[in-house]
Amino acid sequence: TFSYCSQIFSPSLGRKLSAPASHLLYPRTSLAHCHRRARRLERFVAPGMHLTLEFGGGLELLCMSIKIHHVDVDLKAGEDKVTMRDLLCWIRSNLIKERPEMFMKGDTVRPGVLVLVNDTDWELSGQLDTKLVEKDVVVFISTLHGG
């Protein structure tokens, strides 16, 4: 197989970055050169928080009919955690393609949407002020049904 891109681990971001595999295309270009280039690119990549978002009870229809999303949510400058308020804003801007008013009312979710953070009701952890950490699982389930 022939690869045009290689994955280089970035210690400061804690994830892999893609860098052109010029060491595969041009024999005189070293792998070390590609690693240096990836470190330079690293400065321009905003670190994000990896989260798993699950939508159920009909809410998945607002998100391209996909129930589970593995996402990287950008951190605010100077912040090391994302709050549920930030996440809901991110979901409205990046994930919901149509009818965001069916999911949100103002800055929060609509009444009738159950929100679980790591299988715990978000009302027990502070609702919009709940701080999320890396690899948290956030579930949104609509409890309203039409008839």
Domain ranges of the chain: 5-42, 48-142
In this prediction, residues 56-63 reach a mean pLDDT of 88
In this prediction, residues 74-103 reach a mean pLDDT of 86
**What are residue 2's DSSP bridge partners?**
none
Q: How far apart are CA 34 and CA 136, in angstroms?
A: 32
Q: What is the pLDDT of residue 15?
A: 58
pLDDT band at residue 5 under the 50/70/90 scheme:
very low
What sign does the CA torsion over 116, 120, 123, 128 have? negative
pTM: 0.66
In this prediction, residues 112-127 reach a mean pLDDT of 92
Here the tokens at position 54 are 């699950």
**What are residue 71's DSSP bridge partners?**
51
| Assigned superfamily of 48-142 | Beta-grasp domain (3.10.20.30)
CA separation, residue 132 to residues 6, 43, 76, 117 (Å)? 31, 24, 13, 8
- pLDDT at residue 93 above 60? yes
